[in-house]
Structure 1
Amino acid sequence: MTPALSHTGRLLVATPLLTDPNFVRAVVLLLDHDAQGALGVVLNRPTPIEVAAVLDGWADLAGRPSVVFQGGPVALDSALAVAVVPGEPGQAEPLGWRRVHGAIGLVDLEAPPEVLVGELGGLRVFAGYAGWSPGQLENELAEGAWYVVDCEPGDIFCPEPERLWRSVLRRQRGPLAMLATYPDDPTLN
């Protein structure tokens, strides 16, 4: 896959036709997309588990709500953290943070949290992730399961994640904006 075809750093927004319970109305941030497949985290699946209950010291850096999010159906027993570091690429990156795309990066949760205090513009912790084998995401895109849209800074740390699917669609141009009003159960209309 050429870099021009990579969707790393963009959002996958589930179409109303996607009925897999793991991804119904999901908004996925793609952290990696290349010839080996794709990996991302679901941004709008908060759990009731507080970050402080599972990761000592990281709760103060986590955005609101300060809960662990279910990042996807794969490896639910592992955690990863996504954070934004303000500034331009090329500047010295803080210890414990690796740039993925633009200002978005992954945090090393094994590092002491105090090394990142004052460096992060926001942090979100995910249990598990969403993964696609080589060609799988491209097939799902061709089948119409996902819309690929640009990520905006507030998407990752949306304080009302249950509204993220509608708000991302609403800001799109053309027919996608209309889908924001798509009913939860169209058979009730």
Structure 2
Amino acid sequence: MHDEFNMSLKGHFLIAMPGLLDPNFVRSVVCICEHNAEGSLGLVINRTYPSLAAKDIFEELNIEYLPEQADIPIFFGGPVHMDELFILHGPPFNWGPFVDVGPSLAMSNNRNILEAIADGRGPKSFLIALGCSGWGPNQMESEIMENAWLSCPMSPDIIFDRSVASRWEAAVRKLGIDPARLTDAAGHA
């Protein structure tokens, strides 16, 4: 059905088109961490919880933390598994099991990496997300074909070096598109 998508989009961004009105994904950028015949999993990288910070997570899990780690933002990873933490991070990758997302990027969700972040020994670049985004078999491909999403290879600098508010525009520009010219009307050639 979706022969155009015989390649994996793991390690790519999904960029919400202006016409995508699902409140979970309006103007969102999702880093796809897994994509196979069983479905897809990703993390929204440009939406934080306004009233939640790392100290809340550390205290809930009884993890001691340095004061300078208290205000690390917690991202809304998506509307699935909203009681689970996912850490998108750069090297090193020695915190226990992880999913290799792409060059210099992995996803972990174990206590070891959280403890390392809490006491300042964690990876230099990381994003802590509560929840994730998930799609069933062929669901993401269908949404792309319906023009809900654009995709491009992920870029760690957009994840870790850009302000949260500028990530959608930066991802669109990575495709060579002026965000001001992007409309919700699209068609197929």
Q: Which residue of 2 aligns with 1:94?
A: 94
Structure 1 equivalent of residue 137 of structure 2: 134
1:89 is matched with: none
Percent identity between the aligned chains?
Answer: 27
Q: 1:183 to 1:36 in 2, by over 3 A?
A: closer
CA offsets 1:14-67 (integer angstroms, 9 cap, x no match): 0111111111100000000010000001001111211122123577897xx721
- TM-score w.r.t. length of structure 1: 0.78
- Paired AA for residue 83 in structure 1: H
Q: Which moved more, 1:142-151 or 1:158-167?
A: 158-167
Tell me the residue number matched to 2:17. Answer: 15
Matched residue pairs, number? 173
Give the 5 Å matches for 1:12-161.
12-48=14-50, 49-55=52-58, 56-57=63-64, 66-85=72-91, 93-96=93-96, 98=98, 99-111=100-112, 113-114=115-116, 120-161=123-164
Displacement, 1:79? Answer: 1.1
* Residue 182 of structure 1, CA deviation: 5.4
Structure 1 segments, 4+ long, off by >4 Å, are 1-4, 57-62, 115-119
In structure 2, what residue type is equivalent to 1:66?
A: I
Q: Are 1:94 and 1:119, in contact at CA under 8 Å, matched by a contact in 2? A: no
CA distance in 1, matches of 2:122, 2:78: 27
Match of 1:166 in 2: 169
CA distance in 2, matches of 1:15, 1:137: 14
Match of 1:181 in 2: 180
The runs of 5 or more residues in structure 1 that have no matched partner are 87-92, 185-189
In structure 2, the gaps of 5 or more residues are 184-189
CA gap of 1:42–1:58, structure 2 versus 1, over 3 A, is: farther
Distance change >3 Å, CA 114–CA 167, structure 1 → 2: closer
Write the deviation string for residues 91-147 of structure 1: whole angstroms up to 9, x where unpaired. Answer: xx4132523322111234322633996562311111101000001011001111100
**Does the Cα contact within 8 Å between 1:166 and 1:181 map onto a contact in 2?**
no
Q: Which residue of 1 aligns with 2:186?
A: none
Shift of 1:166: 1.1
What is the TM-score when the length of structure 2 is the normalising length? 0.78
The answer to whether the 8 Å contact 1:13/1:165 transfers is: yes
Q: State the Cα RMSD in Å.
A: 3.1
In the TM superposition, residue 161 of structure 1 has moved relative to its aligned partner by: 0.8
CA shift, 1:5, in A, is: 0.6
Give yes or no for contact 2:158–2:170 (8 Å, CA) kept in 1. no
Query: Hey, what's the Cα distance between the residues in 2 that align with 1:35 and 1:4?
Result: 10
- Indicate the SS of the match to 1:155: helix
Q: Tell me the secondary structure at the aligned position of residue 112 of structure 2.
A: coil
